[in-house]
Amino acid sequence: MMLYILLIIGLVIYEYPIFAYRVILKNITHGEDNFAIKKSIHNDRHMKKYESLSDDIIELNIGGQKMSTLRSTLTAVPNSKLSLMFSKDNTKTILPIDKQGAVFFDYNPIYFNYLLDQLRTIKRMSKASGYQLQFSPPFINSHMNFTHMLVDLGLTPDYFLSPMEGTHINLTVNSLAGWQECYRSTYAVPFDLSVLTKACNGSRLLVACRPVNHKKMFTLAAIGEREDILHPCLPKQCKINTKSKKKNMKLLCSSRYQCITQAKRGVGWYHVNNQTWGFVRGSLSFVVNPCDASNLDSDYRLCWSSQLERKQGGGDRCGSAKNLQNSNKWERLIYYIN
C-alpha cells in the first residue's frame, strides 16, 4: 500500500512541470494572439487614416512657371469646370501636358497662384454653393483678366446659376440653383411694383406664376436683368384737352398703351407706370389695356396689373390663363440674386 502511494506521488511530481509548461505556453500564445490582433487592428486603422489623408500632388505649368498643389485644392469647388478637369473620375477632358508631364495652363502665374490660395481657404470651410463664392483678383487693375480666367475655369457665380436666362414653361422648383425667393402673393392681392426696390432689389430677377396648389412647378417663368425689366410702353392715343386754358393745356392719353418689346436674353419686358408690368417671349408689338390680352404665343405671356387698375378689370394673366385678377387660386412669385 505504501508503495502504491509513493508511486502516485512520483507520477504527480513528474507530470506537474509538463502541465505547468503547457499552461504557461498556452497563456503566452493566447497573449501573443491578442497582441497580434490588436496590432493588426491598429495597423488597419492607421492605413485607413493614412489613405484618407493621402492626396495626389498635381504638377502644373502655369504660363511657363512650375507649381505644385494637391488635387483636393483644385477640386475644392464641386461641379466647377476646374474641379471636373482634375476629378479622378474624369474621362472626358483631355488636359494639355508639357514635356515634363505637368498640366499646362496659359494664364498669368500670379493670378493663378492667387486663385490657389483662395481655393485652399475654401476647402477648409464648411461646404458652400458655387454661386455663393466670390473670388477676388490680386490687384484692382487685374479684375478683367482675372475674371476671364474664372470664366474659363467655371468659377463664376453665373456658372452655378440655373436657369440663367430666357422664358420657361413648366419649370420645376428643384431645378432652381442660386435663386432666393423675395416675393409671393396670390393674384387676389394687387401687385405693388415697389417690391422691386425693396425686398426684390437684386441685380437679376426670376419672375414666375403658377396655380397655388402646384408647389413643385412654375407654369411660366422668365429671367431679366434689373436694367431691362422696366422697358416703357407708349400711350396709344393722346390728345390735347381743348377745354383747358391755353396756359394750362394738358395732354390726355387713353389707358391703351402700345408696347414694343426688345428681347433681352430671350425675354421682352414691358411696363406702364401705375398700370401694368409683364413680359412676353422675344420682341413683339401689342396693346395693353390695362393688361396684355393677346393670344399670340399665349403660353409665354405674363401680365400683372397695379392696384389702381383693379377697378377696370385688370386682365392679369399667367400664360394662357387670363383674367386672374382677384383669384386666390393663382400666385405670383419673384426670386432674385445679388
pLDDT band at 9 (very low <50, low <70, confident <90, very high): low
pLDDT band at 50 (very low <50, low <70, confident <90, very high): very low
Quickly count: other Cβ atoms within 10 Å of residue 87's Cβ.
16
- Residue 304 confidence (pLDDT) above 70: yes
- What is the percentage of the chain residues whose pLDDT exceeds 70? 75
Q: Where are the domains of the chain?
A: 57-159, 166-241+250-337
Show the cell assigned to 219: 407654369
SS3 content of the chain, % helix, strand, coil (to 5): 35, 30, 35
How many Å apart are CA 61 and CA 55, to the nearest integer?
19
Show the cell assigned to 296: 399670340
pLDDT per residue as tens digits for the range 267-293: 999 999 988 999 999 999 999 988 999
Identify the pLDDT of residue 89: 86
- Residue 255 confidence (pLDDT) above 80: no
pLDDT per residue as tens digits for the range 71-120: 999 999 998 999 999 998 887 778 999 999 999 999 999 999 999 999 99
pLDDT per residue as tens digits for the range 137-157: 999 999 999 999 999 999 998
Identify the pLDDT of residue 48: 40
| Residue carrying C-alpha cell 490660395 | 117
pLDDT per residue as tens digits for the range 199-220: 999 999 999 999 999 999 999 9
- The domain made up of 57-159 is a member of CATH 3.30.710.10: yes
pLDDT per residue as tens digits for the range 218-250: 999 999 999 999 999 988 766 666 565 555 666
Sign, CA dihedral 148-150-153-154, equals: negative
Identify the pLDDT of residue 296: 95
Question: DSSP 3-state assignment of 203?
Answer: coil
Its pTM stands at 0.67
| Residue carrying C-alpha cell 396655380 | 211
14-to-10, 18, 23, 316, 324 alpha-carbon distances in Å: 6, 8, 16, 110, 108
Identify the pLDDT of residue 279: 98
Specify the DSSP element, H or E, that contains 82: helix 81-85
Of the two residues 8 and 62, the one the predictor is more confident about is: 62
How many Å apart are CA 333 and CA 328, to the nearest integer?
14
- Residue 314 confidence (pLDDT) above 90: no
202-to-94, 251, 304 alpha-carbon distances in Å: 38, 36, 20
- Residue 44 confidence (pLDDT) above 50: no
